[in-house]
Amino acid sequence: MTSSRPAPRVAPYSSIAPVYDRLIGDAGLEPIWDGFRRSCRRYGIRFATAADIGCGTGLFLARLAGRGVRLWGVDRSAAMLAVAKARVACREVTFLQQDMTRLSLPQSVDLLTSNFCVLNYLTSKKSFSGTLERFRRDLGFHGHLIFDTILEIQNGQGMPTLRQEVRFRDVIGTWDIRPSQDRGGATVSMNTCLKSARGAWICARERHVQRWWSRLTLEHLLHQAGLHVLGIHRLGDHRLAGAADHWVQVVAQRHDRSL
- 17-151+213-254 and 162-211: identical CATH topology: no
Exposure letters 21-44 (e unless 16+ CB within 10 A, then b)? bebebeebbebbeebbeebbeeee
Q: Which residues contact 82 (CB under 8 A, 6 or more apart)?
A: 17
Distance separating alpha carbons of residues 222 and 201, to the nearest angstrom: 44
pTM score of the predicted model: 0.94
**Beta carbons of 159 and 184 less than 8 angstroms apart:** no
- Could you give the strand order of the β-sheet that contains 109-114, starting from the edge strand earlier in sequence? 93-97, 70-75, 49-53, 109-114, 139-150, 247-254, 227-234
Q: What pLDDT is stored for residue 183 in this prediction?
A: 79
Q: What pLDDT is stored for residue 158 in this prediction?
A: 66
183: left (phi over 0), alpha (psi -120 to 50) or beta: left
Distance separating alpha carbons of residues 63 and 174, to the nearest angstrom: 31
Mean pLDDT of the chain: 93
Confidence of residue 227 (pLDDT cuts 50, 70, 90): very high
Residue 4 has pLDDT above 80, yes or no: no
The domains of the chain are located at: 17-151+213-254, 162-211
Strands (DSSP E) contained in the chain are 49-53, 70-75, 93-97, 109-114, 139-150, 162-167, 171-179, 185-195, 201-211, 227-234, 247-254
Residue 259 has pLDDT above 50, yes or no: no
Distance separating alpha carbons of residues 75 and 113, to the nearest angstrom: 12
Confidence of residue 247 (pLDDT cuts 50, 70, 90): very high
Q: What type of residue sits at position 79? A: A
Domain 17-151+213-254 maps to which CATH number in 3.60.21.10, 3.65.10.10, 3.40.50.150, 3.30.360.10? 3.40.50.150
* CATH number for the domain whose boundaries are 162-211: 2.20.25.110
Give the residue, 182 or 147, on which the prediction is more confident: 147
Q: What pLDDT is stored for residue 155 in this prediction?
A: 64
Q: Which residues contact 117 (CB under 8 A, 6 or more apart)?
A: 148, 149, 150, 210, 247
Distance separating alpha carbons of residues 183 and 181, to the nearest angstrom: 5
Convert the pLDDT of each residue in 54-104 to its tens digit. 999 999 999 999 889 999 999 999 999 999 999 998 889 999 999 999 999
Convert the pLDDT of each residue in 148-163 to its tens digit. 999 997 765 667 899 9
